[in-house]
Structure 1
Amino acid sequence: MTPAAPPFAFLPGAAASPVILHVPHSSRAIPAEVRAGIVLDDGALERELDHITDSHTAEIAEAAAGRAGVTPWRFVNRLSRLVVDPERFPDEREEMRAVGMGAVYTRTTHREPLRPQDTAADTAAESLLARYFRPYAQAVTDAVAERLAAVGRAVVIDVHSYPSEPLPYELHGAGPRPPVCLGTDAFHTPPELLAAARKAFAEIGETGLDSPFTGTYVPLEYYGKEPRVSALMVEIRRDTYMSEPGGPAGPGLTRLASALAALVDAVS
């Protein structure tokens, strides 16, 4: 029997690089045992994956790594965010849980049921957290710790995408939707990192700030505590590089990869 592929990968970069390109939402893969707990039929699930997946962001990160003068490290989720969303905080009463999109999604992008809401739901969610969420979170924590030990700092750059038109689940979809949205954190996004990102993505078009999505991803062990860990979320509007929803990538992917590589080199 062929062993199952690991649910995530930490791909090595240059020994001197502090940069980790984090790609959490690029995969459409759902293990059969997880698929069994989703109420959508096959066609509806494929349509949901078209909307919810940050398609081709792993390819953008890979191409950027190949173009960068100092190769960044990459942490890539190999499973769909419909399994678990590794960027949610399951123990907090965050607003995304209100629309059924906490660490374990119970609703779709169009607010339709995704998983059963019965007495077994909490048990099923806890099983997913134990099997997928917590090992992922620990692995990212270890990756950041490794960069801190090696070079004395870590720069986590989240690579995401978002649709050109808001989806019903978005709580802040009425705001600007620029070609590139930069998500920031008051503690972990220093001005020089933000300035480098604005410069790197200037040729793509307007870079917005914290709209329609805000914040960054930092492992909880370091969040709000360790200034040597800096972070930025890069949200790329999908019509700049692909056919929506869920279609093939176009020539814009190469331009975005070059811009991301420029950012990597600027902060390396």
Structure 2
Amino acid sequence: MPSFDLLPGAEQSPVILHVPHSAREIPAEVRAQIVLDDSALERELDHIVDAHTAELADEAAGRAHLMPWRFVNRLSRLVVDPERFPDGREEMLAVGMGAVYTQTTHREALRPADTDPEPLIARYFRPYARAMTEAVAQRLAATGRAVIIDVHSYPGEPLPYELHGDGFRPPVCLGTDPFHTPPELQAAAREAFASWEVGLDSPFSGTYVPLEVYGRDPRVSALMVEIRRDTYMTEPGGPAGPGLHGLAGALAALVDALV
């Protein structure tokens, strides 16, 4: 099983729907490093996985007038989290959740605290980053710009690992970057999701941009769309409900506005 997929869209589309946290799959050799028993691991996945976001992106892509590209992580973020900084810049290191997690959402042991992250970063993180960098380069070459829409979800109630869990938890949270999220991208997202209350950078902020262009190339714009899970599914880890389709339509409308 590949660790990620780049699913083609229209050649003239600059949009990449990035889905980094939707999967539950953990390779056997990585599972062996995790100290949770099987039932505890399933509970942790229920809490940490952005469930159904790959389906949300798939439906939105199919409903958009010009199909966007999709970059989808096929492995759990408990293998590596491709959105973390792989070095000391990452604030989530404070709770054992850098690129390689050593703690769970409830601040319990996931791996031994002295786990060397480098083998997993080399095997999974860097190939993912290279492939995403190349996907962005392809959109720049084809269209002169690239727009990354980072598709996430988050729980209705804060979990112990959250550094900013006491903030506003709107149905739709837009995560922004001061360099890569221009006002017109924010405005397009607010209009597309106008049927829901939309907040900015709370409880989660920032958005994914490949490090090679991060803070350097203004042709690359990016926005994180964080959807509160009770708007479309049963928490934690339950099935999707009809709310998923309305959100997919809104995401498709955002894609259309960007092209």
Normalising TM by the smaller chain, what interval? over 0.9
Compute the displacement of 1:92 (Å).
2.7
Aligned length: 259
RMSD, aligned CA: 0.6
Any stretches of 5+ residues in structure 1 without a counterpart? none
**Match of residue 146 from structure 1:** 138
Q: Tell me, what secondary structure is at the counterpart of 2:230?
A: helix
Amino acid at match of 2:197: E
Deviation at 1:116? Answer: 1.2
CA displacement 1:75-125 (0-9 Å, x = unmatched): 00000000000000112332200100000000000000000124xx22xx2
Which of 217, 222, 240 aligns to 1:226? It is 217
- 1:17 corresponds, among 13, 22, 46, to 13
Describe how 1:65-214 pairs up with structure 2 within 5 A: 65-118=61-114, 121-122=115-116, 125-203=117-195, 205-214=196-205
> 1:231 is matched by which residue type in structure 2?
A
Q: Could you state the TM-score of these two structures normalised by the residue count of structure 2?
A: 0.99
| Identity between Structure 1 and Structure 2 (%) | 80
Matched residues in 2 for 1:98 and 1:104: separation? 12
Gaps of 5+ in 2: none
Q: State the one-letter code of the partner of 2:76.
A: S
Distance 2:177 2:193 in 1: 19
Post-superposition, which runs of at least 4 consecutive aligned residues in structure 1 deviate over 6 A?
none
Please give the secondary structure, in 2, of the residue aligned with 1:169.
Answer: coil
CA distance in 2, matches of 1:196, 1:151: 19
Which one-letter code corresponds to 1:95 in the other structure?
E
Partner of 2:239: 248
Determine the C-alpha separation between the residues in 2 that align with 1:111 and 1:218.
Answer: 28
Structure-2 separation of matches of 1:161 and 1:117:
27
Deviations 1:30-55 (CA, angstroms, capped at 9, x unpaired) = 00000000000000000000000000
SS of equivalent to 1:63? helix
Report SS of the residue matched to 2:190.
helix
TM-score w.r.t. length of structure 1:
0.96
